[in-house]
Structure 1
Amino acid sequence: MTNHQSPVRLALPSKGALERSTSSLLSACGMSVFRPSDRQYFGSIPSLPQINVLFQRAADIFTKVEEGSVDLGITGYDVVCEEGVGHDNVVVIHDRLGYGKCELVLAVPESWVDVSSIEDLAELTLLFKEKGKNLRIATKYPNLTRDWLYEKLIVNFSLVSVQGAMEAAPSMGYADMIADVTSTGTTLRENRLKRITGGTLLKSQACLIGNKRLLQDDPTKLDTTKTILELIEANLNAKKYVSITANVRGKSADEVGNYLVNHSELSGLTGLRGPTIAKVYSKEDKDWYAVTIVVEQNMLLAAVNHLRKAGGSDMTITSPDYVFGSQSQNYQVFLERLKEDS
């Protein structure tokens, strides 16, 4: 009897920085994407043949997932929050894939010297109201902008839909200010715009989303989703750690281990659970042991010095490709979300 797995349709960004970073992440996770050419809209993941890849504009991927044309998709969290208003059939499976980072911010002309905070902006809207005008805000994120400003009790404004270069709106005269995404702030400065204090509406990066109904109704699709999530989570976790192996002289493995554990000035210097110690077989000297510890990246030098104090030498450092926990935390959270909505 053959084991039939339902094909999982995965939508990925078709071009730009998000496409390149998505491809790099999946490749690092052992899920390299095959795309015959840049003009092809279909691809595959050879290591996971049950997945059919569809390439789409990042802005359209949410819609494809929501309508059920695909089961899973990778896009910006900002897109999900903006388009997700009133659409409950999309679940965020992993919201921090580590790239595509940006912020949705309010920006005003640099010439507005008296406006540097959200409080200043609130006062400005009242001045506009006294003159019988609305503050015009150009944005591609009307839902997020409107809801956020309402929460701040700022109501005297109108939103201007812009499809082209957002930053030009104030200088062109069809808006007073903008609400747009920025990663470095360079484009804002080049267009003589400035962010205001307290004016960050949303922090975003690439995320993995799925269609609730399609995943709930098909256990094999859930199983494939778990595979994808496990590999991504373990790869992202691995970036936090380094593995150190050192040769340490000692009378016994217990002596070396006890010294490392009992003379540790900081927690975490002896590894995730503790050092792994093995006998080094040498013709010249029998009192050497190989010690391996896995520590967080920011503790590398401290751990090296700790091993030196224990008599360590010949240290080599490697970076793990994956660090798996006892279970996938993200997958457990995802299952709980599905149960809540079922």
Structure 2
Amino acid sequence: MTRLTIAIPSKGRLKDNAEAWLSKAGFKLKQAGGERGYTAELKGLPEADVMLLSAREIAQGLIDGTFHLGVTGEDLLNDLSPNLSADAQVIKRLEFGGADVVVAVPAAWLDVNTMSELEAAGALFRQRHGRRMKVATKYMRLTRNFFAQKSVGEYRLVESAGATEAAPSSGQAEVIVDITSTGATLKANGLKVLDDGVILKSQAALAGSLKAGWDEESLGGLQKLLASIEAHEAAQDKKFLLAANSIPDSLLKGEGVEAISATSILVPSYLAVETARKIADSGAGPVSITSSEFIFDQESPAFKGFVTNLTSAA
């Protein structure tokens, strides 16, 4: 039997956001060995072993099958895997860590605003300087694929080891492919994003490895984790209405209504006040509206979807 292994970012905003997200779902991260430790446990999920790694290490580990689950960026998964659909699956997009992978050129290049214009500029650059223009990036595969898709061939890739946005000003490259959330850093470095130069809109994601050794124990841990996550998500979108008397059948079968009993229902949050008023007007009131932290269902759609893909990939 194999214990569920989960990799969480080891530092920065991504770690803080991942920790807060897990906490809302009922799982508190406790780091072993203090802030410098690289292992942890999830209170509420004793079935799991937790590792703290960089986002890039997590993405590579998911692709290799080193561990079962991880929180990392979609940009890294797409860049490091030659065939992501066979290596790993994004189970949940987490609504934090949002950023775009973009192609940026010096703002002074007034005549270069599209990828086709970049290709023309590359040909002119080669004619004038006797070499191809250099494109600095940490996203080698994503860049090659996107440039091929846009029919751009007049360039040479340079792997960036430091601050990619500084490459043009330091003379290391003429063009960059980098990740940006607001564009402020690019602008501060005298760069602009090409009009059609957004390669990928990325965000942090909970991803599962399709190459890891899954068995009944590890899948059981995953099911428990996803059930709580989805129960918390479901509770954010619904309200619980409790009436003093039986609710009329016509209201029990209304839009988005889930009947719990003759006197209680779940409704989408945006319909809660209107539905409560209708119940009260019918004479079944008074009616109270309450929120829940968790609403558990018998089946986790995310778990079912992952197991289906896992079976297909086997």
Please say whether Structure 1 and Structure 2 have the same fold, judged by a TM-score greater than 0.5: yes
Aligned to 1:338: 310
Alignment of 1:131-210 (within 5 A): 131=128, 132-210=130-208
Match runs of 1:26-105 below 5 Å: 26-36=22-32, 37-85=34-82, 90-105=87-102
Once the two structures are superposed, residues 188-210 of structure 1 have per-residue CA deviations (whole angstroms, 9 ceiling, x without a partner) of 22222222222111121222334
Q: Counterparts of 1:137 and 1:323 in 2: how far apart (Å)?
A: 49
Shift of 1:294: 2.0
Query: Whole-Å Cα distance in 2 between the matches of residues 225 and 305 of structure 1?
Result: 38
Cα distance in 1, alignment partners of residues 181 and 262 from structure 2: 45
SS in 2 for 1:134: coil
Cα distance 1:109–1:246, how it changes in 2: closer, same or farther (>3 A)? farther
In 2, Cα distance between equivalents of 1:193 and 1:319? 47
Q: Check 1:261–1:71 CA distance in 2 against 1; reply closer, same or farther (3 A cut).
A: closer
The Cα shift of 1:11 comes to: 1.4
Q: Is the 8 A contact 2:2 2:213 kept in 1?
A: no
Match of 1:294 in 2: 267
Indicate how the Cα distance of structure 1 residues 46 and 176 shifts in structure 2: closer, same or farther if over 3 A, else same: same
Q: 1:304 is aligned with what amino acid?
A: V
Out of 10, 16, 19, the position equivalent to 1:14 is: 10
Q: Aligned-pair distance for 1:233?
A: 3.1
Q: Distance in 1 between matches of 2:84 and 2:240?
A: 48
Structure 2 counterpart SS, 1:75 = strand
Give the C-alpha shift of residue 111 in structure 1.
Answer: 1.6
CA distance in 2, matches of 1:232, 1:222: 15
- Equivalents in 2 of 1:136, 1:273: separation in Å? 59
For structure 1, which runs of at least 5 residues remain unmatched after alignment?
A: 279-290
Q: Is the 8 A contact 1:244 1:317 kept in 2?
A: yes
Superposed displacement of residue 14, structure 1: 0.6
Partner-residue secondary structure (3-state), 2:70: strand
Aligned-residue offset at 1:63: 3.0
Describe the superposition over 1:60-90 as per-residue Cα deviations: whole angstroms up to 9, x where unpaired: 1123344454332221111111111268873
Q: Distance in 1 between matches of 2:286 and 2:174?
A: 63
RMSD: 3.0
CA distance in 2, matches of 1:215, 1:319: 39
Q: Matched residue of 2:173: which SS? A: coil
CA distance in structure 1 between the partners assigned to 2:295 and 2:278 by the alignment: 28
3-state SS of the aligned residue for 2:212? helix
Q: Give the 3 Å change call, closer, same or farther, for CA 87–202 of structure 1 in structure 2.
A: closer
**Helix, strand or coil for the counterpart of 1:112?**
coil
Structure 1, 56-65 or 24-33: larger mean CA deviation: 56-65
Q: 1:309 to 1:144 in 2, by over 3 A?
A: same
The 3 A distance-change label for structure 1 pair 105 and 72 is same
Deviation of the 1:292 alpha carbon:
4.6
Check conservation: 2:247, 2:279, Cα contact below 8 A: no
Distance 1:87 1:94, change over 3 A: closer
CA contact (8 A) 1:77 1:95 kept: no
Matching residue's letter, 2:199: L
- Please give the secondary structure, in 1, of the residue aligned with 2:30: coil
Assess, with a 3 A threshold, how the Cα gap between structure 1 residues 10 and 261 changes in structure 2: closer, same or farther. Answer: closer
The partner residue of 2:115 within 103, 114, 118 is 118
Paired residue total: 309
1:127 equivalent to 2:96? Answer no
The answer to whether the Cα contact below 8 Å between 1:32 and 1:46 also exists between their aligned partners in 2 is yes
Shift of 1:318: 4.3
Q: Which moved more, 1:218-227 or 1:118-127?
A: 118-127
Change beyond 3 A, Cα 1:85–1:276: same
Separation (CA, whole Å) in 1 of partners of 2:196 and 2:261:
48
Q: Is the 8 A contact 2:4 2:47 kept in 1?
A: yes
Larger radius of gyration: 1
Q: How do residues 233-272 of structure 1 correspond to structure 2 at under 5 angstroms?
A: 233-239=230-236, 241-243=237-239, 245=241, 253-254=247-248, 258=250, 260=251, 268=255, 271-272=256-257
Task: Tell which deviates more after alignment, 225-234 or 313-322.
Answer: 313-322
After superposition, give the CA deviation of every residue in 1:79-103 in whole Å (9 maximum; x if it has no partner). 1111112688732241412221111
- 1:142-179 alpha-carbon deviations (Å, 9 max, x no partner): 11111111011111111121121111111222211211
Deviation at 1:117, TM superposition (A): 2.5
Superposition pairs of residues 266-281 of structure 1, within 5 angstroms: 268=255, 271-273=256-258, 278=263
SS at match of 1:120: helix
Q: Are residues 237 and 127 of structure 1, via their aligned partners in 2, closer, same or farther at CA, if it must alter by over 3 Å?
A: farther
**1:112-158 deviations in Å (ceiling 9; x for gaps):** 22222333323323333444432321111011111111011111111
